Structure 1
Amino acid sequence: MTTRHGWTTTPISADILRGALDLEQTDRGVLPHRLPARARAQISDAQLAMAESQPAGVRLAFRTRATAVELDVVATKRVYVGAPPRPDGVYELLVDGRLMGRTCASGGDTLTVDMSTGTAQTRPGPVETLRFNGLPDGEKDVEIWLPHDETTLLVALRTDAPLGSPRPNGRPVWLHHGSSISHGSNAATPTGTWPALAAASGGAELINMGFGGGALLHPFTARAMRDTPADLLSVKIGINIVNADLMRLRAFGPAVHGFLDTLRDGHPSAPLLVISPIHCPVHENTPGPLAPDFTAMSEGRVGFMATGDPAEVAAGKLTLTVIRDQLARIVEERAATDPHLHHLDGLDLYGADDHAELPLPDGLHPDPAAHRRIAERFARHAFGCGGPFAPRDR
């Protein structure tokens, strides 16, 4: 920690960062990761490598008397060829749990992706300084939530008063894994993703391992969850298995069992909630693979389409309907010897009636209002009276 001209610069370390499993020291700054180095070494997919580096649920947390905070960052801006521009990622500052400010980094590195060819190119950009002024006087707990969908190098943190460690809050740690919906796709802010909203409602400390396109029952993800201290666990399984056309029915059941077995190796008695897919008309009865809808893009919209043949379901191709049935069966069978294992039908979070009222804008991801609805329903089910995450002696 150094002090200069009334400002204190604090090194960015694991001591003041929550929601990340690893910090990578680079020549330009610190990069939070949501998978550990051992897991990242086994990733051969650029999409997952990008997704795990996007800091969904990751936040700086400290106690201070400061009334002004500066954060130097290098954000990675994504540009998809032929698609409308993406909004800038949002940084949110909370004081004692209350939102006090929002801002964006307009510059940074640029990642240009051409989905028609599967190629990507990065152009380096500048460091940008974000400033939050007008914080209340006195000791307070401060959190700065990083953009859930924008890879962010943390370069420097400055405050006009020294930092201290946040007071222990005694909240249970909730470790959640899922797809882009859990990652927060189409949510407007990092505290507006459904896991962040549900965690706030349920009084839990969130570690969000939702990875856009990456909820594929990878063994390295299961091992990372196994080795991460947590009080509550949940896994939302299905949509990526279908839209990646990753496996057939014969492989799906054993893969789910293996994933859950690994989680239980590290968390033998923690409440573990298995969540099936929410309603998504694209893949309810049509297998993958998923493909971009280039007609929609030519009209300035983002859209996706299923390219599989429903007739192949009889031969073992997977759809969301098939996966819901299989997950319900697997959890029921395992619960006979695992009383802390629970199941939640994703249609109870967002079903056909919800889609009629709050349709998925791109055919795949919920909008901010739907994120709130999913969060409210999840919180009632999981954290409410009698729910699997309801307070108990732990």
Structure 2
Amino acid sequence: MYAVADHIRGAAELEVTPRGVRPHRLPAWVREQFPDGQLLAMESQPSGVRIAFRTTATTVELVTHPTRVAYPGADRPRGRIDVYADGELVLRDVLGGGDRIEVDLATGASTFHPGEPHTTTITGLPAGRRRIEIWLPHNESVEVADLRADAPIEPDDVTLPLWVHHGSSISHGSNALAPSGIWPAVAARRAGVELRNLGFGGSAMVDPFVARVIRDGPADYISVKLGINVVNLDAMRLRAFVPAVHGFLDTIRDGHPGVPLILISPIFCGIHEETPGPGAIDPASIGTGQVRFTATGTPGDVALGRLTLQVIRRELRSLAERRAADENLHYLDGLHLYGPEDAAELPLLDGLHPSPEAHERIGTRFASVLAQKSASL
């Protein structure tokens, strides 16, 4: 077994377990300070985390032990492991086995089902030294147990500009089928940058500890995509939201005063454009094979400061304008990444999250922004 921990990128830290190492995208102090079940489940899913190395091997094996959450009546595709050799996709491996935590959507009761480890085998690699990049699943937690090859594995010597991105389940990769198909991964690969993905399903809540994590880590440029979770959890009113975003950006600037910082407003989501949250699963969709989300607020009910996506976009644009003295702060309207016309062509199948094709489109569009910023570094 090679020291696989030496080759893992995109994680905050690695937890040593009896099976191997588990990548975490948030450091232990955050997990101890705020041990919220949703956040802990999301940060332990290694969205954007890769294993990268150089080798002349023709066969490589990676042993992982996945843990996934399953919802009877609302099954979702298994996680995948994507393998690239010198930038070309050579394997997309669907996970099998692993532990399963089954959650009843009606009652909230959960049942644990243990399973066997999973082995990803890469064979038939051409002769010669090449760069191997293995993208871990974005939607299942994994322990990395073993890395084997029929030739020595050497450190990767590629150094790229580092892009740190924070967002919601859309940035985490919900409804994407593969880890390199989530929109931040698409953007990073197209723009030729290194990704650290701090997209957490249901947890882009303008949390101060996330801003401190970004502040205290390296970054060549940064983006934060805020709004949808605040709306669909009905977590804030307008009076609290705007100062919270100011504070979030101020904290980041404490550590990165001159780094390009892109503030992204929400993409189009019809259920919340004019209707506040909370969001909820439509009970009628359970068991149909396609769970759908709905907004339970009152349409147009914003007079007392309740938030919709239209209000969020207006306020983030205004906020960015009031911070015009920061020449490296850039506002990007999320509708430029995915707007009403895109929704008509590539609908949000569950009413909330982009399809795999829409992830590709969003990532491709954002890649041009990343490439422009990368060229200026």
- Taking structure 1 as the reference length, the TM-score comes to 0.93
The alpha-carbon distance between structure 1 residues 262 and 121, as it changes in their structure 2 partners (threshold 3 A), is farther
Partners of 1:154 and 1:299 lie apart in 2 by: 34
**Which among 23, 29, 33 is matched to residue 20 of structure 2?**
29
**Which among 99, 106, 110 is matched to residue 120 of structure 1?**
110
1:140 aligns with 2:127: no
Which amino acid in the other structure matches residue 363 of structure 1? Answer: G
Determine the structure 2 residue equivalent to 1:197.
Answer: 186
How many percent of aligned residue pairs carry the same amino acid?
55
SS in 2 for 1:260: helix
SS in 1 for 2:274: coil
Could you tell me whether the CA contact under 8 Å between 1:296 and 1:303 is conserved in 2?
yes
Greater Cα offset, 297-306 or 366-375: 297-306
SS in 1 for 2:116: coil
**Which among 284, 287, 290 is matched to residue 279 of structure 2?**
290
**Aligned runs of 1:1-394 on 2, under 5 Å?**
9-13=1-5, 15-83=6-74, 85-169=75-159, 171-335=160-324, 337-384=325-372, 389-392=373-376, 394=377
Deviations 1:179-208 (A, max 9, x none): 011111111111111111111111110111
Partners of 1:45 and 1:113 lie apart in 2 by: 17
Which amino acid in the other structure matches residue 20 of structure 2? Answer: G
Partners of 2:364 and 2:338 lie apart in 1 by: 11
In the TM superposition, what is the alpha-carbon distance from 1:368 to its structure 2 partner? 1.0
Partners of 1:11 and 1:380 lie apart in 2 by: 36
In the TM superposition, what is the alpha-carbon distance from 1:390 to its structure 2 partner? 4.2
Deviations 1:47-102 (A, max 9, x none): 1111111111101011111111111111113211321x221211111111111112
SS in 2 for 1:229: coil
Which amino acid in the other structure matches residue 11 of structure 1? Answer: A
Which amino acid in the other structure matches residue 391 of structure 1? Answer: A
Which amino acid in the other structure matches residue 316 of structure 1? Answer: G
Which amino acid in the other structure matches residue 322 of structure 1? Answer: V
Which amino acid in the other structure matches residue 357 of structure 1? Answer: E
Could you tell me whether the CA contact under 8 Å between 1:78 and 1:86 is conserved in 2?
no
SS in 1 for 2:66: strand
SS in 2 for 1:74: strand
Greater Cα offset, 190-199 or 305-314: 305-314
In the TM superposition, what is the alpha-carbon distance from 1:296 to its structure 2 partner? 1.1
- Taking structure 2 as the reference length, the TM-score comes to 0.97
Aligned residue pairs, count: 377
SS in 1 for 2:33: coil
Partners of 1:168 and 1:186 lie apart in 2 by: 30
The alpha-carbon distance between structure 1 residues 354 and 311, as it changes in their structure 2 partners (threshold 3 A), is closer
The alpha-carbon distance between structure 1 residues 329 and 119, as it changes in their structure 2 partners (threshold 3 A), is farther
SS in 2 for 1:315: coil
Partners of 1:91 and 1:42 lie apart in 2 by: 31
The alpha-carbon distance between structure 1 residues 103 and 311, as it changes in their structure 2 partners (threshold 3 A), is closer
CA RMSD of aligned residues (A): 1.3
Which amino acid in the other structure matches residue 113 of structure 2? Answer: R
In the TM superposition, what is the alpha-carbon distance from 1:342 to its structure 2 partner? 0.3
Q: Which 4+ runs in 1 deviate beyond 2 A? A: 42-45, 114-124, 380-384
Partners of 1:223 and 1:160 lie apart in 2 by: 42
Could you tell me whether the CA contact under 8 Å between 1:181 and 1:365 is conserved in 2?
yes
Which amino acid in the other structure matches residue 234 of structure 2? Answer: D
Partners of 1:44 and 1:154 lie apart in 2 by: 23
Which amino acid in the other structure matches residue 79 of structure 2? Answer: G
Could you tell me whether the CA contact under 8 Å between 1:75 and 1:151 is conserved in 2?
yes
Could you tell me whether the CA contact under 8 Å between 2:24 and 2:45 is conserved in 1?
yes
In the TM superposition, what is the alpha-carbon distance from 1:311 to its structure 2 partner? 4.8
In the TM superposition, what is the alpha-carbon distance from 1:363 to its structure 2 partner? 0.2
Which amino acid in the other structure matches residue 32 of structure 2? Answer: A
SS in 2 for 1:254: helix
In the TM superposition, what is the alpha-carbon distance from 1:28 to its structure 2 partner? 2.0
SS in 1 for 2:342: helix
